Structure 1
Amino acid sequence: MKWSEFSIHTTQEAVEPVCHILHEAGAAGVVIEDPHDLIKEWGVDLGEIYQLSPDDYPEEGVIVKAYFPVNDALAALIEEMKASITALGDLDIELGHNKVLVHEVAEEEWATAWKKYYKPVRVSNTITISPTWEEYTPSSEDECVIELDPGMAFGTGTHPTTVLCIQAIEKMITPGDSAIDVGTGSGVLSIAAAKLGAKDVLALDLDEVAVESAKINTELNKVDRQVTVKQNNLLEGIDGEYDFIVANILAEIIVRFVQDAARVLKPNGVFITSGIISRKKDEVKDSLLSHGFTIEEIVEMEDWVAIIAKKA
């Protein structure tokens, strides 16, 4: 089978929404080439467990590559994806060069090459994320390993927003907490919460592909009894009282359900939000404050922000 590589030169801010568009279009694999991964700092005790080659990365911006089977519908699909990506600018998302290149590749060329971008990464004091095909031995008894099959999304390690969320969960969660993960994606944050002591986690995502991926990953990590994965639009129709909510999605989406987060959280419940580009930090902060939250901490990595808030 022949495959087409759809490559777009964009910005770090646009990576997640661009990847979502490519997933929705049916990409059979996505590679993210972000030069920030070459200089990423995880803190004194943390670090990447592998070496990356600068030759694989652009000098600036981010290159996102997606792979599609070559067929009669491909030309129209490419034009649809270009239009959808360009429309992200209407959401005030900086697209950078927004330059697209398309060329054919042999199946064997892409089917294994992307694995060089995805290796075990220590992302917090106790959590290491490892792809399923890597042999990794924990360095201590208190180290938790999350195994992920990245499915339709492959990256160069772990996105800063995910790292910030996991570190915040590790800091704030109390064993026995009930939690919600809004926009769960691969399910990595739900798995982390369960491994760090949450008694039950409700993992929500509107995307059917994400729901199936999260189910597979929770089973793989043997937390499927603690984590319930469900297709749902944000917190619509969710009732009950929870100790903990985490949401790693765009700032524009977070502000839409802050009121619902306040509704389902217990008094003093924790709300961790990330996926926030630095210039939109105040927008999310103001929304949290206006709905009765207090800001416990704001943490940043590169151009990304996570906010830890509590319901008053």
Structure 2
Amino acid sequence: MKWSEISIHTTNEAIEPISNILHEAGASGVVIEDPFDLTKEREDQFGEIYQLDPKDYPVEGVIIKAYLPVNSFLGETVDGIKEAINGLILHNIDIGLNKVSISEVNEEEWATAWKKYYHPVKISERFTIVPTWEEYTPVNSDELIIELDPGMAFGTGTHPTTVMCIQALERTVQRGDQIIDVGTGSGVLSIAAAMLGASEISAFDLDQVAVTTAKMNIKLNKVQNTVNVSQKNLLDGVEGMVDGIVANILAEVIVRFTDDAARIVKKGGYFIASGIIQQKKQDVKDALNKSGFEIQETLLMEDWVALIARRV
């Protein structure tokens, strides 16, 4: 089979929404070429440092790549992707150069080319994300290993927004907690919560492809008895009370359901929100406060923000 590589030259701010657009268009995963990765310092306790080739990265901005099958609908799919990206301007998201290019690759190249970007990465005190095809020996006896295959998952679990969510989960999840994961994507946050001792996790995503992907990753990590994945728009129709909510999605989406979150999170329970760019931080804080949450901690990584809030 022939595949088409779509490459988008954009900004860090636009990584999450454009990745989501590509995912919804049928891409099984994305590759992000960010020149910041060439120079950023990694603390010893987090991250496996490996050699990167500067020729693979743009001088400025970031390049997002995804792969789509070459078929009779490819032209319409690409046009839809371009239109959706241009629409991000309406949400005050900087899309930068927004240069979109298309090239053709064969299946063998597509199936293996992106693997050079993905290695075992220790993202917190306890968690390490490991690609399924690599051997990895735990460094500590209490280390928690999450296996992911970006060939079937949306994202690798190592983006700053995901890393901060997992670190926030480490600080808040208590054994036996009931949690909702809104916009689960690859399911990585639900997997982490289950490994931390949560007894029941409901993982929601509006995209059926994401639901299927999350179920596969959850089964891969043997937490299918704890995590239930279903197709749902945010918290629509959700009843009952839970100990916490985690959501790694756009700030513009988070502010739309803070009232619903306050309705179902127990007093003293938590709301972990990520996927927030610096410019939108105060908007999310204001929405959470107005709905009855109190901001307890703000996590920062690169240009991204995550919030830990408590229901008062």
Deviation at 1:240, TM superposition (A): 1.1
Deviation at 1:74, TM superposition (A): 1.9
Question: Which residue identity is paired with 1:300?
Answer: L
- The answer (yes or no) to whether the contact 2:29–2:150 under 8 Å persists in 1 is no
The whole-number CA distance in structure 1 between the counterparts of 2:151 and 2:105 is 20
The whole-number CA distance in structure 2 between the counterparts of 1:171 and 1:50 is 28
Tell me the number of residue pairs that the alignment of Structure 1 and Structure 2 aligns: 312
Question: Structure 1 257/29 Cα, relative in aligned 2: closer, same or farther at 3 Å?
Answer: closer
Deviation at 1:161, TM superposition (A): 0.2
Identity across aligned pairs (percent)? 63
The whole-number CA distance in structure 2 between the counterparts of 1:274 and 1:165 is 6
Secondary structure of the 2:12 match is coil
The whole-number CA distance in structure 1 between the counterparts of 2:195 and 2:219 is 13
Secondary structure of the 1:20 match is helix
Question: Which residue identity is paired with 1:107?
Answer: E
Q: Does 1:163 align with 2:184?
A: no
Question: Structure 1 69/56 Cα, relative in aligned 2: closer, same or farther at 3 Å?
Answer: same
Secondary structure of the 1:71 match is coil
2:68 corresponds in structure 1 to: 68
1:308 corresponds in structure 2 to: 308
Question: Structure 1 155/40 Cα, relative in aligned 2: closer, same or farther at 3 Å?
Answer: farther
Please tell me the root mean square deviation across aligned C-alpha atoms, in Å. 1.6
Question: Which residue identity is paired with 2:263?
Answer: R
1:14 corresponds in structure 2 to: 14
Question: Structure 1 174/237 Cα, relative in aligned 2: closer, same or farther at 3 Å?
Answer: same
> Displaced runs of 4+ in structure 1, greater than 6 A?
none
CA deviations over 1:247-293 (Å, ceiling 9, x no partner): 00000000000001101111100111000000100000011111111
Question: Which residue identity is paired with 2:204?
Answer: L
Greater CA drift, 181-190 or 50-59: 50-59
2:279 corresponds in structure 1 to: 279
The whole-number CA distance in structure 2 between the counterparts of 1:292 and 1:150 is 37
Map 1:239-278 → 2, pairs under 5 A: 239-278=239-278
1:101 corresponds in structure 2 to: 101
- The answer (yes or no) to whether the contact 1:31–1:153 under 8 Å persists in 2 is no
Q: Which runs of 5+ in 1 are unaligned?
A: none
Map 1:1-312 → 2, pairs under 5 A: 1-41=1-41, 43=43, 45-152=45-152, 158-312=158-312
Deviation at 1:175, TM superposition (A): 1.3
Deviation at 1:49, TM superposition (A): 4.5
Question: Which residue identity is paired with 2:140?
Answer: S
Secondary structure of the 2:234 match is coil
Greater CA drift, 50-59 or 203-212: 50-59
